[in-house]
Amino acid sequence: MKITIKSTPEDHRIAWLTALAISIHILESSLPSPVPGLKPGLANIIIITVLCQFGWRTAAWVSMLRVLVGSLILGTFLSPTFMLSLSGATASILAIGLASRIPGRGFSAIGYSLLASISHISAQFITAYLLFIPHPGLWRLFPVLLTFAIVLGIFNGIISLLLLKRVT
Residues 6+ apart with CB under 8 A from 14: 58, 61, 62, 65
Residues 6+ apart with CB under 8 A from 60: 93, 97
Residue 4 falls within a domain, yes or no? no
Q: What is the pTM of this model?
A: 0.87
Share of the chain above pLDDT 90, in %: 70
Please check the confidence at residue 30 and state whether its pLDDT lies above 90: no
Residue-range definition of the domain harbouring residue 85: 12-28+40-167
Residue 117: give its domain's CATH number: 1.10.1760.20
**pLDDT number for residue 37:** 65
Please check the confidence at residue 5 and state whether its pLDDT lies above 90: no
**pLDDT number for residue 106:** 77
* Distance, CA of 126 to CA of 128 (rounded, Å): 6
Is 73:26 a contact under the CB 8 Å cutoff? Answer: yes
Task: Specify the number of domains making up the chain.
Answer: 1
Please check the confidence at residue 32 and state whether its pLDDT lies above 90: no
Please check the confidence at residue 83 and state whether its pLDDT lies above 80: yes
**pLDDT number for residue 11:** 84
